[in-house]
Each structure stands twice: as C-alpha cells, then as structure tokens.
Amino acid sequence: MCGILAVLGCSDDSQAKRVRVLELSRRLKHRGPDWSGLYQHGDFYLSHQRLAIIDPASGDQPLFNEDKAIVVTVNGEIYNHAELRKSLPNHKFRTGSDCDVIAHLYEEHGENFVNMLDGMFSFVLLDTRDNSFIVARDAIGITSLYIGWGLDGSIWISSELKGLNDECEHFECFPPGHLYSSKNGGFRRWYNPLWFSEAIPSTPYDPLALRRAFEKAVIKRLMTDVPFGVLLSGGLDSSLVASVTARHLAGTEAARQWGAQLHSFCVGLENSPDLKAAREVADYIGTVHHEFHFTVQDGIDAIEDVIYHVETYDVTTIRASTPMFLMARKIKALGVKMVISGEGADEIFGGYLYFHKAPNKEEFHSETCRKIKALHQYDCLRANKSTSAWGLEARVPFLDKDFINIAMAIDPEWKMIKLGEGRMEKWVLRRAFDDEENPYLPKHILYRQKEQFSDGVGYSWIDGLKAHAALHVNDKMMQNAKHIFPHNTPTTKEAYHYRMIFERFFPQNSATLTVPGGPSVACSTAKAVEWDAAWSNNLDPSGRAASGVHLSGYEQQAVLASAGVVPPEILVNLPRMMNVAAPGVVIQS
C-alpha cells in the first residue's frame, strides 16, 4: 500500500506551506518507504509515499498524462490495467505502473471512468487546465481514505487520519464506492451493483460458477514484480486463498521467478488453534510455511502502536489487528512486499456464528449486505493499516467486484444454515470447493468451524487483554465513562483503555466520529440481539464468548459428521476453552 496526501485550494503557495505538506506526508512514509514525490501547482499539492509493487524502476508518483496537464496520486492496484492500456491506443504512457492508466482514462471519458477500474484504489486527480479535481475510493473501501475541510476553504485528502487531523476544522471517512468532484462540490456514488439495494436475489446456486469466479479473483491478484506470499490462518477463507494460489503458481513464470514454492505465513500464541490448522494446510498444499509466535505480553506492548496505526478504538478490530501487525513486521523482514488475504468471505456468505439464528432468507441477505457495506470500518481497515504499518500490501480476492456480484446474486435460501440438510455456515463456498477427485483442502479443514482471528491466534490472548485493561481502568472510571466519553461510551474496561489511548493520539471530535458506534455487543451488531435475545447479555464481541452459539456450531458439526458430510475426526476441533466433549471424545485439560 502507498500513502497519498493532497491539499487542494488552500490559498497558500508559499515555501512554508510546501514544507508543511512534506512534513505531514512523512507521517505516511510507513505505507510507502520506497520513494516520495510531491507535485505543486499553485495552491494545490499532491504528495505520494510509494510502495513499489508494479514497475519498481519507473513507476514513481505523482503520475501525468502526455502534456502533464493532468496529475494523479494513487494508492492501490489496478488489476485490469493491461486491458485498459489497449483501449487507449492513441496515448503514450510514461511508466509501466498499473496506475498510469488513470490520467489517460480521464482524458478520454471525463469523471465517468472510475467504474472501468478493476482493483483497489484511492486517488486524487488534478486537471491543471481549470484547476478542477476529483477524488475516488474503491468499491468496498479496501484502501483507507479520509477527507477534511480547512477554514481557508481548502480540501484535504489523506490515506490516514494522521495526515490531516492537525490541519482540518472537520474531517471524516471518505465513503467507499464514491467520487468527490470539485465541479459539483459533493459526493456521488459510482459503485451501484444490483445487490446494493438489498433486493432479494433469485439466481440458483451454481457451485462451479462460484469456484471459477473465486479462482479468477485470486489469479488476477498475483500481478506483481516483487516477492509475495499468502496469509494462512488455517481457517476456510485463507486456506482456499492459499490453495488456489498454490495450484495456479505451479509451473508458472511467477513460481520460477520467486522460487519453486509459494510462501505462507501464520501468527499465533504457542499451540494456538490457527497455528496447528495452518501447518496442516501448508503441508497439504505444499507451501514454504513460516510460523510466527508471539506472547500475550508482546501483544500488549504493541497495543499503543497498533491504535496509532490502525486509527480505531473498536475492541474487535484492535484485538485482531495486533497479531496481524506483529506478523506483518516479520513478513516484511523476510523481503516480502505483498500478501494475499482472506477478508470478506464471512460478510458475503454469512459466516459469523449469529447467522445461525437468521429467521429467514430476507433478513439473512439484508444482514450480509449491511456487513459488506461496513467492511471499510472493520476488516478492511485492519488488513490495510496493520500491514501498511510496515510497508506490506494486502490483497483480498473475496472482495473482487466480479466475485461479489456473482456471490451476492445467489438466492440467499442457499446460504441459510440448515443443519437438517447438512448445511453449516458458508456451505455454498465449502461445497464449491469440495472436489472429490482433486481436493483443494482436507475435508476437516474445508468444514472447520468459524474462529474469529482474535480467538484463533490463541484464547489466552483476549483473556490477557482484559486483565491488562483492568490494571489501567478502575470501577470509578467506568461509572463516569458516559461523562468522559458521551459519544460511543465504552461499556467495558478494555474498551475504555483503548479509547484513552486513541484520544491521546487523535483528540479531535472528528476523529472520534470516524469510528463506528453503539454499545459493544456480540459480533458488534444489534441484529444478533434481534434474532436471539440471548446475545444481549454478552458485552464481549468475541465469537468464543457466545458459547451457546459456538456449542451449537459444534453440535452441527456432529450432525454433519454423522451424515458423512465431514469426517468424524473434525469433532476434536472443538475449542478446548469450552471444556465440552462429544460422546466418545476426551478433551485433555
């Protein structure tokens, strides 16, 4: 991931202002340690901190059209840039960068070109002929982006809060799938898929079509000129990403260029569920596997850095971001600059445990739509900023536009969890890759129950965080929490602790408002409570904390095993912290 910062129409073209813009841009250097660029046109400034993935030799930014009248600074990857170049035969490109097509597309199509881009991106484009500009963010919000307004009439754009929070009277999250145009002075949505209206789709489930769409999404994300790997937790989503990647790379030029085998990476506490499962998947698909261990104290020591980089006080996000933040540093130390990750599948297919309680397909589908629309505030935020903190790029094939369109067009009746019919959560995805002749994964991995990332890295991780927070937050502080933090009042000591750290780095009210709100309930959603009132008694967002649903999920696996859908040995995957055994299965203490 790169870092972009733009100051647009600030009524100050002095050297002092240029120095200040450079100073603020350096706050984003962790996102792009390979090169820095700044373009100034009067009182317009476009800066860039580059992480060189495509064309490392000549793809420095900002980028220009032929006569340099159009300037663009971009964070992201345009996967269909080769096809787009072919559609622009009368244009000459200065670099081999995938982002070089943007200025030229604007020349040909004006502001309406954004939907032609297939990728993850945030960009600012300045047309110096009339000093007009546009800003756009990718469909789901995989890349982070913020917009701010200054008292002098200026507009500020930054990949992270820290680039603009000291300079703007007000700032906020730039909405995903939107474009801001100076010509009309406002936002408009450029991403308008059929599923966005939440109308109930009716396309029959086609497992082969779903499989092919996902394989295509993975393969296009292997576009790189630098060493890469896959994040592998051992859960369904990352395991499918790794399996499809390994199959495609076998015997390809990329395999010969970067080594005979794909590299995979996992993080966890000693003997955590993820480490064991990931090791088994790596052995099965034949990756060079790297296993990183951390202690609870390692994670606690990193919390302040995590909150500074991820820019949130959301409990679930911080819990999951910390192991990812530690792992990203190790991965970058190995010389890897890009990884492929599994975010998004749970939102698309209803993989969270509370989806067991969905009363009908209409509500199931509506909730998946809502979860996808909120991804930029949670999992996308975590994946982008935890890795970008160390100059590592994360790509997410489940959030491919074409794949989402196919997956969200499926009649949601097929996604519903129906134990009597042998259908667990994300069954449509599991079934699509359940190939008896040429298996993608072992059966018990393909049908492994959902673990939240913060649980899977080791159950004592969350327990340790709670104990640490209790040392810093006392009962009197909690009693007064609503007066100290009237907006998004923390309801647990852990949440209060994170909020104190966040406000030390980002004290502005605008910063507080960028984090999604409401009381912290299981899976951070009121819908879970609506479907099952038992969730209302749980203030902890961990999937494990909802032991009744977790146990229900275990019991469903027993049903699947007895029906022959999954092998009986899957039963031993029950989390030990639940201290529950199936008939004939002994859980060692």
411-421 tens-digit pLDDT: 999 999 998 88
**What is the model's pLDDT at position 254?**
54
In terms of residue numbers, what domain contains 23?
3-192
Residues 6+ apart with CB under 8 A from 125: 70, 71, 72, 102, 103, 106, 133, 134, 135, 136
- Specify whether 132 is located in the same domain as 244: no
Asked if the structure places residue 463 within a domain, the reply is yes
Asked if the structure places residue 583 within a domain, the reply is no
- Cα angle 194, 196, 197 (rounded to 5 degrees) comes to 85
What value does the CA radius of gyration of the chain take, rounded to a whole number of Å?
A: 24
- Specify whether 183 is located in the same domain as 214: no
Is 36's pLDDT higher than 60?
Answer: yes
Asked if the structure places residue 573 within a domain, the reply is no
98 vs 136: CA distance, rounded Å = 16
- Specify whether 168 is located in the same domain as 207: no
Is residue 2 among the annotated active site residues?
yes
180 vs 577: CA distance, rounded Å = 49
- Specify whether 373 is located in the same domain as 519: yes
pLDDT band of residue 555 (cuts 50, 70, 90) is low
H-type helices in 344-433, by residue range? 345-349, 361-373, 379-388, 401-407, 427-432
- Specify whether 83 is located in the same domain as 167: yes
Is 91's pLDDT higher than 50?
Answer: yes
Average pLDDT on 488-503 reads 97
Mean pLDDT for the chain?
Answer: 89
Average pLDDT on 17-29 reads 97
Asked if the structure places residue 77 within a domain, the reply is yes
Average pLDDT on 32-61 reads 94
276 vs 86: CA distance, rounded Å = 46
Mean pLDDT check: name the lowest of 131-145, 325-339, 518-532.
518-532
- Cα angle 79, 349, 173 (rounded to 5 degrees) comes to 60
34 vs 226: CA distance, rounded Å = 13
223 vs 261: CA distance, rounded Å = 17
pLDDT band of residue 257 (cuts 50, 70, 90) is low
Mean pLDDT check: name the lowest of 27-36, 287-296, 580-589.
580-589
* Helix orientation angle between 493-505 and 315-333, rounded to the nearest 10 degrees: 60
Is 470's pLDDT higher than 50?
Answer: yes
pLDDT band of residue 547 (cuts 50, 70, 90) is very low
The better pLDDT of the pair 588, 289 is held by: 289
- Specify whether 459 is located in the same domain as 542: yes
Average pLDDT on 45-61 reads 92
Asked if the structure places residue 285 within a domain, the reply is yes
| DSSP string covering 34-49 | TEEEEEEETTEEEEEE
Percent of the chain scoring above 70 in pLDDT:
86
Residue type, 247: R
Asked if the structure places residue 131 within a domain, the reply is yes
pLDDT band of residue 135 (cuts 50, 70, 90) is very high
pLDDT band of residue 431 (cuts 50, 70, 90) is very high
Residue 108 sits in a domain whose CATH number is 3.60.20.10
**Strands 70-78 and 393-395, sheet pairing:** unpaired
- Specify whether 389 is located in the same domain as 490: yes
Residue type, 149: W
**What is the model's pLDDT at position 574?**
37
Is 518's pLDDT higher than 80?
Answer: no
* Helix orientation angle between 315-333 and 459-472, rounded to the nearest 10 degrees: 120
Neighbour-count burial of 134, counting CB atoms closer than 10 A to its CB (0-12 exposed, 13-18 middle, 19+ buried): buried
Is 397's pLDDT higher than 70?
Answer: yes
**What is the model's pLDDT at position 527?**
79
- Specify whether 209 is located in the same domain as 97: no
Average pLDDT on 367-382 reads 97
Asked if the structure places residue 566 within a domain, the reply is no
Q: Has 12 been labeled as part of a binding site?
A: no
Domain boundary among 157, 192, 227: 192
| DSSP letter (8 states) at residue 498 | H
Question: Cα 109 vs. chain centroid, distance in angstroms?
Answer: 30
Query: Domain total for the chain?
Result: 2
307 vs 315: CA distance, rounded Å = 10
Is 460's pLDDT higher than 70?
Answer: yes
Of the residues 2, 10, 173, 266, which is catalytic? 2
The better pLDDT of the pair 463, 526 is held by: 463
**What is the model's pLDDT at position 312?**
98
**What is the model's pLDDT at position 108?**
95
Is 322's pLDDT higher than 70?
Answer: yes
- Specify whether 150 is located in the same domain as 208: no
Q: Has 21 been labeled as part of a binding site?
A: no
**What is the model's pLDDT at position 549?**
52
**Strands 288-293 and 263-268, sheet pairing:** parallel
Is 447's pLDDT higher than 70?
Answer: yes
pLDDT band of residue 560 (cuts 50, 70, 90) is low
| DSSP string covering 280-314 | HHHHHHT-EEEEEE--HHHHHHHHHHHHHHH----
Asked if the structure places residue 33 within a domain, the reply is yes
Residue 542 sits in a domain whose CATH number is 3.40.50.620
**What is the model's pLDDT at position 456?**
60
Is 333's pLDDT higher than 80?
Answer: yes
Task: Sheet containing 119-127: give its strands across.
Answer: 63-64, 70-78, 119-127, 132-137, 178-181, 186-189
Is 464's pLDDT higher than 50?
Answer: yes
Is 578's pLDDT higher than 60?
Answer: no
User: What tokens were used for 297?
Assistant: 């104290």
**What is the model's pLDDT at position 534?**
72
**What is the model's pLDDT at position 557?**
53
Q: Has 98 been labeled as part of a binding site?
A: yes
Is 585's pLDDT higher than 50?
Answer: no
- Specify whether 142 is located in the same domain as 220: no
Domain boundary among 171, 192, 213: 192
Domain boundary among 173, 192, 211: 192
171-207 tens-digit pLDDT: 999 999 999 999 998 999 999 999 999 999 999 999 9
- Specify whether 407 is located in the same domain as 519: yes
Question: Cα 89 vs. chain centroid, distance in angstroms?
Answer: 35
- Specify whether 57 is located in the same domain as 124: yes
Closest to 457 in 3D by CA, of 262, 321, 580: 321
Average pLDDT on 355-376 reads 96
Percent of the chain scoring above 90 in pLDDT:
80
Residue type, 9: G
